[in-house]
């Protein structure tokens, strides 16, 4: 399933494609484990805070983020809560190299997702963690951070 992942960059039209959810069988498959491992390696190699499957031209609802506790995978994520309060923060993107700007995002979120064991998890995130999750989540819907710049 995985051979040397390559990050696609803007204006590649495939960045606008939406990821499809994985079935329960796919979530726990060896192929998904291998893909998530390769996605994680690519993110760390490129010094990213997160990386979505759609950024490597795989239309799955999967992303990984780099946390102080290590890499965490999010499979079939769904943001179930967004705080009313938002805050501006600087963002960049491995798929939009060389561009950094401020984006308003929800300060707190709650996200439901599956891990590689097929277990459903719920995570409450705030501040920077919430920002990174929202950024990667947007990728799964074909949304780039530069789409939000005009809405400052």
> 26, 87, 119, 136: which one is catalytic?
136
Whether the Cβ atoms of residue 51 and residue 43 lie closer than 8 Å to each other: yes
- Per DSSP, 139 falls in state H
Whether the Cβ atoms of residue 15 and residue 96 lie closer than 8 Å to each other: no
In Å, how far are 40, 64, 71, 110, 129 from 67, measured between CA atoms? 11, 9, 6, 16, 8
Query: Which residues of 7-139 form beta strands (DSSP E)?
Result: 50-52, 62-67, 70-82, 86-93, 96-106, 108-114, 120-126
Is residue 73 annotated as part of the catalytic site, yes or no? Answer: no
Active-site amino acid positions = 136
């Amino acid at each position: 399933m995985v051979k040397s992942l390559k990050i696609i960059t803007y204006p590649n039209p495939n960045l606008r494609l939406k990821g499809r959810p994985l079935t329960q069988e796919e979530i726990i498959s060896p192929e998904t484990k291998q893909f998530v491992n390769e996605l994680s390696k690519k993110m760390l190699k490129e010094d990213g805070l997160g990386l979505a499957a759609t950024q490597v031209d795989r239309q799955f609802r999967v992303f990984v983020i780099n946390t102080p506790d290590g890499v965490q995978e999010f499979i079939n994520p769904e943001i179930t809560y967004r705080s009313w309060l938002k805050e501006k923060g600087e963002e960049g993107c491995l798929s939009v190299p060389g561009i950094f700007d401020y984006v308003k995002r929800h300060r707190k979120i709650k996200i439901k997702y599956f891990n590689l064991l097929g277990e459903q998890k719920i995570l409450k995130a705030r501040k920077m963690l919430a920002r990174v999750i929202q950024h990667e989540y947007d990728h799964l819907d074909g949304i780039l951070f530069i789409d939000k710049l005009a809405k400052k």
